[in-house]
Structure 1
Amino acid sequence: MRPTLSTLTVFTLSCAFCLAGASTLRNPFLGCEENAFPPNKSNAVPQYTISLDLVPEDRWTQLITDKKEQMVALVGHVRNLTRMVLGDRVFQIVIDHLEELSSTLPSPYREEMVGISQVSGLPVSEVTLYNIFYEVFTFCTSIIVQDSTGRLYHGRNLDFGLFLGWNPKEHTWQVAELLKPMVVQLEWRRGGELLYQSVSYAGYVGVLTAVKKDKFTFSLDERFSLDGGFMGLLEWVLLKDHKQKWIAFITREVMEQADSYEAAKYTLSHTRLLAPVYFILGGAQRGQGSIITRWRDNFRVDDLGSKVSGSSSWFLVETNYDLWNSPPFYDDRRSPAVRCLNEAGQGNASLSLLYNVLSTRPVMNKLTTYTSLMQVNEGHLEAWLRFCDDPCWPW
């Protein structure tokens, strides 16, 4: 999913903020947010339809036509950052490998990226880079709660852009701000019927957050591992190992093909992956909530009621760290979320509680691009852009 950041690296970068005197960026837990819900309607994200009846090259035409200017600006920024970090020579080698990589991606995703390239005017290699970056630099928080009647609610923050350009004047991450105009809510249809809904970024062909009515809800969070996505990427390109699944593509397949919570759970647990990840899955019946911790070849499932931190009889909380270990001091979003859920109690389990918890600093932070809420029985999905005013953690 991302190049592994060692504890020392993150600690050093954290201290850099401290030494720079950025006191306004360093606020402790200030208490649970109780009045964030309902969100401001002006921050609701726009909705589009993706028709799977169209040929893959044409599925994203309207969306990319509307978002072309923003997509070109974002990809240009990412390209410049990558070139600056790697240097011109190494950057060109990466781009050349992306040309090769894009030609080996499975259908229909390869053809969809070609269509996005044609509409946006960006080379296919850069459209591929754009998609890969979501699997490399994503932080997240996902929460499932169950009320006393067994009704399940699923919410998530998607945080993106860590170390990808800090604006010291505005106290914002540049990539996170460029991404916000790209957030869209999608209806995926086939034969005129609604298959599922998702929230994503325009031009990203995978699924990060989604609901399939009366079946299951889904989100994914990044997982750090020495056996990270770069290892799988190298195996894909150099060893031609194309049997492993890309995260973005397996999530699409699950949303389009799985017809039950158990079927989705099995596929997400047993499929060999290109990169480690956390899959957060909620069902339509009492007790159907799980965090699937994935290595590339192995898995562990923690269900509602598991005896691990971040789990209780009525909620699950996943950020970006294994539930059986304590989160690191420099990025503990789990503890505030758990504390706020416990203070509220199961009697208040609802979409409004989820939104308030996801609005609590540092669960919400400068990296947070959107918050989404889902309810499986109603097929409910909503998403809003987020703006974390100071005092607010950088991440």
Structure 2
Amino acid sequence: MGCGPWALLALLCGAAAAPLHCNVSLDSPAERRWLPVLRHFEPAFLRAAFQRIIDESVPKWVHQVIQPIAAELELFMPQPFAGEIAGMCKALGVNLGDGILLNFAYESTAFCTSIVAQDDKGNIYHGRNLDYNFVDILSKITLDVQFIKDGGRWWENAIAAFLNRNYPVSWLVRRTLSEAEDFQSAVLRLADIPIIAEVYYIVGGVSPKEGMVITRNRRGPADLWPLDPLGGAWFRVETNYDHWTTPPPFDDRRTAAIKALNATGQHNINFDTLFKVLSVKPVLNNNTVYTTVMSAAHPDRYQTWMRTGE
């Protein structure tokens, strides 16, 4: 899932042909904190990409009806997201309503394969492929973003409601990363806080057994699926289908990932072998933008590879 206010610009990732690495200071005013990032891109290209995604994702009649309403939603959006989106739209000279719509487009169009696994020593590994329709655009604007906060708690002045207190799924991730103190706290936040779309949250912690797939409804959890290494379930694989159902034959990334993990074995799982699992077809496919492997206990080992063109 995207990890920023403008999902198509602030995707949290890195790469083999490494993408641009940027620091974003949460101590800067919300309206200005993304401006140094925007300077790395040609404004005309971003505007064209912006327009294409809107045109291809939103029917014209819906766009005409929603655009003026979306602009008014800024009044109900939590900070700092409202200020960040407004600041970027102003800098690029694009419509605020379209900027808000673009955030919501990501909620229903992204696909991914996510894995959380525990090795035989209790280490937790976490990997993910992002699949998205606009591969040619994302391959040019994917960023490795590190949020920096040296001052006070930037969230304390947040507006408490967004419509019915529902957040876009990626905004809740960022809020959780900023505020949750441990694995249990992160799971509770991601499971319980209302969001605007159904989603799967895959969480990996720093201690043994700290792995979870959270299947979300808009109002709360539909299912919690934890690691159970003592029971033999040393990994969990989530694609875009409820784990208790059978994926469709035309998109069965799950079976391929499970076979690769079983072939690897718990004693051999590590950063390198997890990357290989995420590189097995069709887990890796023509719409895969990037592959990320990480471990919360070893943040220095976080790495992402751009996969477009493979």
Shorter-chain TM range is: 0.7 to 0.9
C-alpha spacing 1:381/1:324, structure 2 compared with 1 (3 Å): same
Contact 2:15 2:290 in 1 (8 A): no
Specify the alignment match of 1:72 in structure 2.
Answer: 47
Question: Per-residue CA shift, 1:271-312, capped at 9, x if unaligned?
Answer: 1222111110011001110101111123111111289xxx95
Secondary structure, counterpart of 1:341 in structure 2: helix
User: Over aligned residue pairs, what C-alpha RMSD do you find?
Assistant: 2.5
Specify the alignment match of 1:185 in structure 2.
Answer: 144
Question: Per-residue CA shift, 1:60-106, capped at 9, x if unaligned?
Answer: 011112123442221121233246xx24x443112122222233211
* Partner Cα distance (1:262, 1:79) in 2: 37
Matched, 1:382 2:303: yes
Question: Per-residue CA shift, 1:226-266, capped at 9, x if unaligned?
Answer: xxxxxxxxxx9xxx843223212211110000010010011
Specify the alignment match of 2:37 in structure 1.
Answer: 63
* Partner Cα distance (2:137, 2:88) in 1: 18
Question: Per-residue CA shift, 1:110-159, capped at 9, x if unaligned?
Answer: 00101111222212122212211111200001011211111111110011
Contact 1:70 1:178 in 2 (8 A): no
Shift of residue 388, structure 1, vs aligned partner: 4.8
Contact 1:82 1:91 in 2 (8 A): no
Task: Give the number of aligned pairs.
Answer: 288
Question: Per-residue CA shift, 1:31-64, capped at 9, x if unaligned?
Answer: xxxxxxxx984x2222100101101011101111
Q: Which moved more, 1:43-52 or 1:71-80?
A: 71-80
After TM superposition, list the pairs within 5 Å mapping 1:1-395 onto structure 2: 41=16, 43-67=17-41, 68-82=43-57, 86-87=59-60, 89-161=61-133, 175-191=134-150, 241-299=163-221, 300-305=223-228, 312-379=232-299, 380-389=301-310
Contact 2:30 2:80 in 1 (8 A): yes
Secondary structure, counterpart of 2:114 in structure 1: strand
Secondary structure, counterpart of 2:298 in structure 1: coil
* Partner Cα distance (1:320, 1:284) in 2: 25
Letter of the 1:56 counterpart = A
* Partner Cα distance (1:80, 1:289) in 2: 38
Specify the alignment match of 2:5 in structure 1.
Answer: none
Contact 1:70 1:181 in 2 (8 A): no
Letter of the 2:24 counterpart = I
* Partner Cα distance (2:240, 2:177) in 1: 22
* Partner Cα distance (2:163, 2:63) in 1: 24
* Partner Cα distance (2:229, 2:195) in 1: 25
Segments of structure 2 that go 5 or more residues without pairing to the other structure are 2-13, 155-160
* Partner Cα distance (2:232, 2:202) in 1: 15
Secondary structure, counterpart of 1:50 in structure 2: strand
Specify the alignment match of 2:7 in structure 1.
Answer: none
* Partner Cα distance (1:189, 1:298) in 2: 30
Contact 1:65 1:120 in 2 (8 A): no
Contact 1:61 1:116 in 2 (8 A): yes
Contact 1:57 1:111 in 2 (8 A): yes
Secondary structure, counterpart of 2:275 in structure 1: helix
